[in-house]
Structure 1
Amino acid sequence: MAEALEPEQLDTYFALMESVSVLHHAVEQQVRSAGELSYVQFQLLARLADAPDRQLTMTALADGVVYSRSGLTHQAGLLEKAGLITRGPSPDDQRATLVTITQAGLDRVATILPGHIEVVRDLLFDPLSTKDLAALGDVMTRVRDHMRAQPPRSAAPRKRRT
């Protein structure tokens, strides 16, 4: 049986989870209101807008946003139908699908981004001093890197249907 968390660990865990939930809810509301997208759709577009050549493979997108392959395929289909991305075969790997953001997708990100920045600044960064920000950035980078040391979900073998 696993050893119980120390009270300080438990308090920190609950504070982190509550903070993430409040921030995620506020960002989700802003993205929906400003751009008529879900948060994951915005994440996909923002990652593509920031990528070299504004394109990534489906696997790289799934790993970047920590999303299942099937869920990403569904979301990519919706974004493609809306004219915000295109999908096609990768010239470097015939097994890979390359996703490219369109000008309409870039325009949608540009519409959402100012309000998104405002929400993130207001809820996350405004209560922090410069020293707090540096410390939080350091801690969260170490935690993320530790978590990312595990193979990404997209690398997990697919379960066979019986």
Structure 2
Amino acid sequence: MSSQDEQRPPTELELGAYFALIEVSSLLRHTIEQQLQEVGGLSYVQFQLLATLGDAPTGTRRMTELADGVVYSRSGLTYQVGLLEKAGLVARSPAVDDERGVDVTVTDAGRDVLAAVFPGHIAVLRELFLDPIDSDAIAGLGATLTVIRDHMRRIPPRSARPRNGRHQTS
């Protein structure tokens, strides 16, 4: 991006797209957070962590990998994982391949909570986000957001940067 582009104010079309994205994101996240809290006693970040662990083949990920994936500060992640551990939903252990690292594993109780919240989570997602648009619009939106996400991951915010300033590709 040139310095001239950085100084150019956004067009009305660009601002409209940006503000629509913010509002859609806020409305969707608010409703999802309510559903997660009511059904599973989870915050949005806690759900992200459990879902990420649940998707891992072994149910385990490194703490640094979790922080990079959910774009959350490492100290905030440590706090959230501690809450999940106290609730018996995850377990922490020293990393097998690096004594300085910490692995986090979803427990059976954590999987049970995921199973309890997923149906309502999917229902909210469908009702608010997927049902109003057709599959072509979903494909276009997915492609557009993927390009933007990949661009942002190449220049991540501080909380999403891998340790030692090394950029990882996903």
Count of residues paired in the alignment:
157
The CA distance in 2 between the partners of 1:62 and 1:154, in whole Å, is: 9
Q: Give 1:55 shift.
A: 0.4
Q: Give 1:3 shift.
A: 2.0
The alignment partner of 1:4 has SS state of coil
1:2 is the counterpart of 2:10? no
1:48 is the counterpart of 2:53? yes
The alignment partner of 1:88 has SS state of strand
Q: CA offsets per residue over residues 76-124 of structure 1, 9 Å max, x none?
A: 1000011000001111111210000000000000000000000001111
1:99 aligned residue (104, 107, 112): 104
1:39/1:156 CA distance change after superposition, 3 Å: farther
The alignment partner of 2:100 has SS state of coil
Amino acid at match of 1:3: R
Alignment of 1:71-150 (within 5 A): 71-150=76-155
Q: CA offsets per residue over residues 6-46 of structure 1, 9 Å max, x none?
A: 11000100000000000000000000011011111011001
The CA distance in 1 between the partners of 2:41 and 2:121, in whole Å, is: 13
Partner of residue 62, structure 2: 57
The CA distance in 1 between the partners of 2:114 and 2:86, in whole Å, is: 17
Q: Give 1:153 shift.
A: 3.3
The CA distance in 2 between the partners of 1:60 and 1:76, in whole Å, is: 13
Consecutive unaligned residues in structure 2, runs of 5 or more: 1-5, 166-170
RMSD of aligned alpha carbons: 1.3
Q: Is the 8 A contact 1:84 1:105 kept in 2?
A: yes
Amino acid at match of 1:134: A
The CA distance in 1 between the partners of 2:26 and 2:15, in whole Å, is: 16
Q: Identical aligned pairs, as a percentage?
A: 53
Partner of residue 27, structure 1: 32
Q: Is the 8 A contact 1:28 1:39 kept in 2?
A: yes
Runs of 4+ in 1 over 4 A off after TM superposition: none
